[in-house]
Amino acid sequence: MRIVLIGQAAFGEKVLQTLANQGEEIVGVYTSPDIQGKVNPLKELAVQLDIPTFPTKGLGSPKGYAEYIKLKPDLNVMAYVTDILPESVLNRPRLGTIQYHPSLLPKHRGGSAINWAIINGETKTGITIFWPDQGIDTGPILSQKEAEISPDDTVGTLYFDKLFPLGIEAIVESVNLIKQGRAPRIPQDESQASYEGLCTEKDAVINWLQPTSKIYNLIRGTNPQPGAMTHFRGQQFKVFDSELQPSGVDALPSEIIEISHQGFVVATINGAILIKRVQIEGSPKLASAKFAQQVGLKVGDRLSK
């Protein structure tokens, strides 16, 4: 079976390595263009394996599509793809195209599925391998695997510790089912569908008057991207690593009630949150204790929206 892999980043690299180790015939790899100073791990591995590489965006051009046709794929495997591919590419292989998505479709369609599941305070998510069509994450389902969202999971831990390995496992299983002619096409239940846009900075502004759990979920659900935003004396900074503190604090919401080597503790209306790592715009992330020293943050000061 001739497979074209379309993907990027570490996930695409791991899918390629796993399928190659399994003896699958990968005839071409489509990935994002090189970024100056950054290694594209998927492209680098494809070159090592002597597999032709092409830019994913090129699939939309006549020349790029002609190159793709020459590969004579039996199956496309989409491993972490953010581009919308032409229907002609999706339907070209005789066995079709499968795609990885980090949610239990039809819930959380869209490019920030992991963010929104955590921001919403959900305790369960998972991954879906599906047959993409021209809609956004709307094609029939091939397989799904569930994962727990732990109370202190961030986008980073949920993805890399759980949804990443589950996705690799599911793609390998799906390819085997397709080879055996046993891969299902289960229509998505539109009555359960939800779609959210990309989680951007405008969605990540902390409102310190909200309940502690909502603030904590926002911080977790935007770590490491795009980062939860707040201000001190008019200066914007982003909040990353954090930890819930015992409730029963006698202080105003957004008030700094403690500063230590661990960071600084901010009061909320029904609890408090320890902020461990932050980032000032244009600077690297740094420990919150160091940030407090730099900006003169003291107990009794208040943060603002």
In tens digits, the chain (305 residues) has pLDDT values of: 999 999 999 999 999 999 999 999 999 999 998 776 688 999 999 999 999 999 999 999 999 999 999 999 999 999 999 888 999 999 999 999 999 999 999 999 999 999 999 999 999 999 999 999 999 999 999 999 999 999 999 999 999 999 999 999 999 999 999 999 999 999 999 999 999 999 999 999 999 999 999 999 999 999 999 999 999 999 999 999 999 998 767 899 999 999 999 999 999 999 999 999 999 999 999 999 999 999 999 999 999 98
Q: Where are the beta strands (DSSP E) in the chain?
A: 2-7, 25-31, 53-55, 75-79, 97-101, 124-130, 141-148, 228-232, 235-239, 242-245, 256-260, 263-268, 271-275, 277-280, 285-287
Do 101 and 241 lie in one domain? The reply is no
Q: Residues 176, 287: one domain?
A: no
Q: pLDDT tens-digit profile of 48-86?
A: 999 999 999 999 999 999 999 999 999 999 999 988 899
Of 163, 133, 203, 171, the residue nearest 22 (C-alpha)? 171
Tell me: do 101 and 47 sit in the same domain: yes
Chain center to CA of 185: 25
CATH number at residue 61: 3.40.50.170
Kindly state whether residues 44 and 167 are assigned to the same domain. Answer: yes
Same domain? 42 vs 64: yes
| DSSP class per residue in 171-183 | HHHHHHHHHTT--
Asked if residue 218 and residue 179 are part of one domain, the reply reads no
> Does residue 7 sit in the same domain as residue 133?
yes
Residues 29 and 74 in one domain: yes
Q: Whole-prediction pTM value?
A: 0.96
Q: Give the chain's domain count.
A: 2
Instruction: Tell me the residue range of the domain where 179 lies.
Output: 2-192
Clarify whether residues 222 and 140 are in a common domain.
no
Residue 300 counted as domain residue: no
Respond yes or no on whether the N-terminal peptide bond of residue 224 is cis (omega within 30° of 0): yes
Q: Which of 261, 248, 265 is nearest to 287 (CA)?
A: 261
The two three-digit tokens of residue 23, written as one number: 């003896």
Question: For residues 292 and 148, what is the distance between their CA atoms, to the nearest angstrom?
Answer: 35
Residue 50 within a domain:
yes
